[in-house]
Amino acid sequence: MKFLDQAKVYIQSGAGGAGSVSFRREKFIEFGGPDGGDGGRGGDVWVECVDGLNTLIDYRYQQHFKAKKGDHGRGANRTGAGGADITLKVPAGTQIFDEDGETLIADLTKVGERIRLAKGGNGGFGNAQFKTSTNRAPHHANPGLPGEERWIILRLKLIADAGLVGLPNAGKSTFLAAVTAAKPKIADYPFTTLHPGLGVVRVDGREFVLADIPGLIEGAHEGIGLGDRFLGHVERCRVLLHLVDGTGEDAGKAYKTVRTELEAYGGGLGDKPEIVALTKADALDDETRKKQIASLKKAAKRPPLLISAHSQEGVTEALRALLKVIDENRAVEAAANAPAPEPWRP
């Protein structure tokens, strides 16, 4: 299944049914009068966050969604049936923008959240509603109100606890495959990863979700390479694992390149907790190790971890470091969302 993280769709709620013009005419009934029923209400358009989805691929093949119209009213004061609602199902982490792509309508981050985007039109009044003491036989009824229509943009930002960033061929996909059951494409050329990937990490009896995005290169915020389009998928992460290729020319320069792109992108990525690791340790001799570690330590202003997804060197330590930051972040979040204690009363 192809990964799709953005879609533009057209939605339209149902129009209300028209009211009826009808009169009661029955034998042996002395008093007749108007008995036209009201029109039914049009259906609404909803968006609901559901479990089991991780892509917007369904909206690539269908872009138009229209709710049902309400039925017209009938005689004998019969109200028309309401139109059926329509619900767009999206994965957790979906943002809904107006057609301009900038006005945020809703951000659905939890399964079960739903929002009404277009309200159905009200049904028109039948002529029975217009009967008065001076107008006992009204011959008019209201038409139903039209539904709402608009274009919206759905944008998915994956929800993960930790995210992998780095230059192409830094070993992100290899690391993801080594610590999770995910099977990303791995090859010895740049931009092997073309779509974000998710995996569940298990360490010390605990679990957290790890996200991998395509590599960044210098000028990504200006659209060079794959650009910074996929950086939105690590905006929600609690911590970043910055992988730097130990077999490259200068680990410190590679680190600064990615940091520049993160800060240029914005979205708070430059301020997120970060763990720096030098990868492919199994391919480095002692002298190269010391040189690359020193260069990366100077650039990152902290001692980096040394890991090898192939030999598993330092992998567990990196996962524990990620889990520690995640736990701290969760604790702060839980304290912030805790209900305020009730004031003491004598």
Q: What pLDDT, in 10s, does the model give residues 157-203?
A: 888 889 888 888 888 888 888 888 777 666 555 555 566 777 888 88
3-state class (DSSP) for residue 231: helix
Residue pair 20/37 in contact by the 8 Å Cβ criterion: yes
Per-residue model confidence (pLDDT) at position 218 = 72
Per-residue model confidence (pLDDT) at position 1 = 47
Domains of the chain, residue spans: 6-156, 162-336
Q: What is the pTM of this model?
A: 0.77
Q: How many CB atoms lie within 10 A of CB 50?
A: 16
Fold match between domain 6-156 and domain 162-336: no
pLDDT tens for residues 211-221? 888 777 776 55
Residue pair 284/293 in contact by the 8 Å Cβ criterion: no
Please state at what angle helix 172-179 crosses helix 315-337, rounded to 10 degrees: 80
pLDDT tens for residues 123-143? 999 999 999 989 988 999 999
Per-residue model confidence (pLDDT) at position 72 = 96
The pLDDT averaged over each successive group of 10 residues in the chain (346 residues) is 81 96 84 91 96 87 95 94 95 92 91 94 94 91 95 89 86 85 64 70 88 74 60 84 88 89 82 90 87 90 89 90 89 78 76
Per-residue model confidence (pLDDT) at position 186 = 66
| Assigned CATH topology for domain 162-336 | Rossmann fold (3.40.50)
Q: How many CB atoms lie within 10 A of CB 70?
A: 31
Query: Which CATH superfamily is 6-156 part of?
Result: GTP1/OBG domain (2.70.210.12)
Q: Which residues pair with 46 in a beta bridge?
A: 87, 116
Which residues, 6 or more positions from 38, have their beta carbon under 8 angstroms from its beta carbon? 19, 20, 73, 79, 80, 123, 124, 125, 126, 129
Q: CA-CA distance, 334 to 345, in Å (whole number)?
A: 26
